[in-house]
Amino acid sequence: MTEYEAVIGLEIHTQLKTKSKIFCGCSTEFGNNPNSNICPVCTGQPGALPVLNKEVVNLAIRCGLVLDCTINKKSVFARKNYFYPDLPKAYQISQFDLPVTQNGFVNVVLPDGTEKRIGITRAHLEEDAGKLVHQGAEGIEGATSSHVDLNRSSVPLLEIVSEPDIRSAEEARAYLEKIKSILQFADISEANMEEGQLRCDANVSIRPIGQKEFGVKAEIKNMNSFRAVEKAIKIEIDRQKQVLSSGKKVIQETRSYDEASGKTVSMRSKEESHDYRYFPEPDLLPLIIDDAWIAQIKKDLPELAEQRIARYQEAYGISAYDARVLTLDKAVSDFFDTTAKLYSGDKKTIVNWLTTDILGYLKNENLEIGQTKLTPQNLVEMLGLIDNKTISGKIAKDLIGKMIATGESAKKLVESTGMQQITDENEIQKIVQEVIDANPKQLEQYRSGKTALKGYFVGETMKRTKGKASPQVVNQLLDKLLG
Ligand SMILES: [Zn+2]
């Protein structure tokens, strides 16, 4: 049996965080009424001329800097010709042989903790297309009418193309997460996948281990979550292995990932760049960037993830691993920063709650922290209740899920559900005594030297109090009563 390895490169389209579009003054706001943010330029009317938005270039330079790319002093816009109903000009203004920035890299921490450098081939500017809305039955096939919404047309995008350095679906996900984090921290993009601000295509091929030449690749489109990217690539690698091991050949094509069936489906044979008949955009001058402009952008860079990681380790004594987990998502890191300012106890306590219970909950529910009602104030209040022994850590673990789901304050939830910890020694002593009386056999064994059975009595007491007894008090009482 031939052993194969995967060769993967990602093309990430990210929406730059500007108020207006790339070549006109129309708003980029998401969720407005269809065709309310449009003008002659972004709807491709004859004679309308594009004017480059300076803020778009600022953000492209910033992205080049944080991805360790070369910023090209001269780059050129090019027309990419193709027809699609949501593209009224029948061409997209993009960049081709002279992108604004190229030749960079990012260091990605893989799930096993090792670090890997992934090369960035280039990042180029382009405009987005509009959106088709199909009405009627589900899917294009059953639609009774189709409409075009051009609000997205000419929204500024930066396409970040990686080198084919990625070797597994897990690595692809880790790389995408890293890029998202970089874009958010550097304030280049909100990188919200649900709003289409971060989209990703994957070029996937496989080759026998040890072979240098690349295999034939398929491009996978239509993946709109980290989970989908990881799953789609895994499925595609398996599909190609099956094709090759059955003696057939992988063909170069574009495939779409169908989340419902968990399959990739052929869309069309893959176009080559010459199919697009690129040529320099005659309505725009070459983009010239001088050193002073780059220096200015460098000076104004916000605190990046790497700097936050260092700050967390230094100021709070947090491990490098935890600091990295906290900074995978800027919203989580901001949440931590606010909580740390409000909470006077050990900041590592916040880290524990955030990285295990809270992020675990979000992962299970496929939510981002900003989509929940949990606030730093609520979390600090809950930590206070643990610190003053109103609730046990175990009860807090049940509480946190309710707090995230409802946005209710910890105090209110504790009062309304009677989850207060029992700290009254007399009350606990009564229950401990009941447990001892109910288990004479275990008591005898304990007294004859099997002291490990203490854990059994602790467990029984906690069961009877539904986890509400203070474990500390239970332990002290057992030491006294077991003799
Ligand atoms: Zn416009």
**How far is it, in rounded angstroms, from Cα 212 to Cα 328?**
33
Residues 99 and 32 both lie in one domain? yes
Distance 131 CA to ligand 1 centre (A): 15
Q: Is the dihedral of CA 444, 450, 451, 456 positive or negative?
A: negative
Burial bucket for residue 66 (CB in 10 Å: 0-12, 13-18, 19+)? buried
Q: Is the dihedral of CA 106, 356, 403, 386 positive or negative?
A: negative
Tell me the backbone φ, ψ of residue 308, rounded to 5 degrees.
Answer: -65, -40
Q: How distant, in Å, are the alpha carbons of 157, 243, 397, 470 from that of 415?
A: 50, 61, 16, 17
Residues 289 and 314 both lie in one domain? no
Residues 153 and 55 both lie in one domain? yes
Distance 353 CA to ligand 1 centre (A): 46
Q: How distant, in Å, are the alpha carbons of 106, 243, 383, 414, 472 from that of 387?
A: 41, 59, 6, 15, 13
Best CA proximity match to 377, nearest among 338, 416, 414: 338
Distance 188 CA to ligand 1 centre (A): 21
Distance 95 CA to ligand 1 centre (A): 20
Of 278, 295, 312, which marks where a domain is finished?
295
Distance 331 CA to ligand 1 centre (A): 31
Q: What is the pLDDT of residues 421-471, one digit of tens each?
A: 777 888 888 999 999 999 999 889 998 888 888 889 988 888 888 877 878
Residues 277 and 337 both lie in one domain? no
Residues 364 and 274 both lie in one domain? no
Residues 204 and 99 both lie in one domain? yes
Distance 293 CA to ligand 1 centre (A): 26
**How far is it, in rounded angstroms, from Cα 5 to Cα 161?**
21
Q: Note the pLDDT of residue 138.
A: 66
Residues 252 and 362 both lie in one domain? no
Residues 70 and 145 both lie in one domain? yes
Q: Note the pLDDT of residue 137.
A: 65
Distance 43 CA to ligand 1 centre (A): 7
Q: Note the pLDDT of residue 469.
A: 82
Distance 78 CA to ligand 1 centre (A): 19
Distance 156 CA to ligand 1 centre (A): 12
Q: What is the pLDDT of residues 342-389, one digit of tens each?
A: 999 999 999 999 999 999 999 888 888 988 999 999 999 999 998 988
Distance 2 CA to ligand 1 centre (A): 54
Residues 34 and 182 both lie in one domain? yes
**How far is it, in rounded angstroms, from Cα 122 to Cα 64?**
9
Distance 68 CA to ligand 1 centre (A): 32
Residues 17 and 51 both lie in one domain? yes
Residues 276 and 355 both lie in one domain? no
**Secondary structure class of 285 (helix, strand, coil):** coil
Give the chain's domain count.
Answer: 3
Q: What is the pLDDT of residues 184-234, one digit of tens each?
A: 999 999 998 888 899 999 999 999 999 999 999 999 997 888 999 999 999
Q: Note the pLDDT of residue 480.
A: 86
Domain range for 225 is 4-295
Distance 22 CA to ligand 1 centre (A): 9
The arithmetic mean of pLDDT across residues 239-262, rounded, is 92
Distance 89 CA to ligand 1 centre (A): 13
Best CA proximity match to 231, nearest among 191, 252, 254, 204: 204
Distance 200 CA to ligand 1 centre (A): 25
Q: What secondary structure letter does DSSP report for 304?
A: P
Exposure string for 175-206, b = 16+ CB within 10 A, e = fewer: bbbbbbbbbbbbbbbbbbbeeebbbbbbbbbb
Residues 19 and 168 both lie in one domain? yes
Of 274, 295, 316, which marks where a domain is finished?
295
Of 295, 315, 339, which marks where a domain is finished?
295
Distance 26 CA to ligand 1 centre (A): 4
Distance 206 CA to ligand 1 centre (A): 43
As a whole number, the mean pLDDT across the chain is 92
